[in-house]
Amino acid sequence: MVLVGTTQIASAVEVLRWERLPLAIPLRINQERIVFVDQNVRVGLPRSLTDKLRVQSTGGAIYLFAKEAIEPTRLQLQNAKTGEIILVDIAATEAPTDQPALEPVKIVEGETSSARYAGAATARSAKATTKRTDSTSRSSDEDDEPEEVVKRETPAPVVLTRYAAQMLYAPLRTVEPVDGIAQVKIDRSLDLTTLLPTLPVKATPLGAWRLDDFWVTAVKLQNQT
């Protein structure tokens, strides 16, 4: 008699809850460890790790590969959409010969949700774009659909200013798009002599951007003395 059986091997995943405390993620030299974040993030990597740690990020997963020993170092995972930052502490050591490779890590939001700040964006519900054909018996006020409020993890002025700075100083290929931010056309010949009338400087507008009800304008100042 021959018995044929099937088994399923489930890969274990270590779950870490982000509750505003740095998360410890140990690494092994010459072993890749995957961190699932389920959001589009940018990884802030110190220069000291450039030749020691390989980092790849795609589809909500971060792939960390330590090429050599790494002292305890903090990384920043920034949500490209909201600007929220998750702090991760890593350290890489030699892999023990009698232990399996470290399992993947999944970072989830803790029970204590992050504080929502004042930068709330209001967006019309998609239903509001659909006109009712039988609205003759209803007033215009009744036809208005309630607005949906989109909360941001980071205040809108902070997100907007950070984006503008990246547009001015960072390589364009590294600038992540942010939902709701739009560049505003400005007149480069705009007279800004009244901006700092008592100082010997020349002011020239460089660009302007808008997010919700907030605006930011970049102005170049040149000393004329």
Instruction: Give the other-Cβ count within 10 Å of 80's Cβ.
Output: 16
Residue 174 pLDDT class (50, 70, 90 cuts): low
Provide the percentage of residues in the chain whose pLDDT is more than 90. Answer: 27
Which one has a higher pLDDT value, 104 or 124?
Answer: 104
- Give the distance, in angstroms, between the CA of residue 36 and the centroid of all CA atoms in the same chain: 15
Q: Give the model's pLDDT for residue 94.
A: 92
Q: Give the model's pLDDT for residue 140.
A: 47
Map out the domains of the chain as residue ranges.
14-109, 156-223
Q: Please state, rounded to an integer, the average pLDDT across all residues of the chain.
A: 77
Q: Residues 167, 173, 178, 179: is their CA dihedral positive or negative? A: positive
The CATH code that applies to domain 14-109 is 2.60.40
Render pLDDT for 2-16 as a digit per residue (tens, 0 to 9). 333 333 434 588 899
Q: Give the model's pLDDT for residue 152.
A: 56
Provide the percentage of residues in the chain whose pLDDT is more than 70. Answer: 74
Q: Give the model's pLDDT for residue 173.
A: 65
Scan for tokens 């995943």, then name that residue: 13
Q: Give the model's pLDDT for residue 139.
A: 47
Instruction: Give the other-Cβ count within 10 Å of 95's Cβ.
Output: 16
Residue 107 in this model has a pLDDT that exceeds 50: yes
Average pLDDT over residues 70-93: 88
Residue 79 in this model has a pLDDT that exceeds 70: yes
Render pLDDT for 30-68 as a digit per residue (tens, 0 to 9). 999 999 998 888 898 888 998 999 999 888 899 999 999
Q: Give the model's pLDDT for residue 110.
A: 74
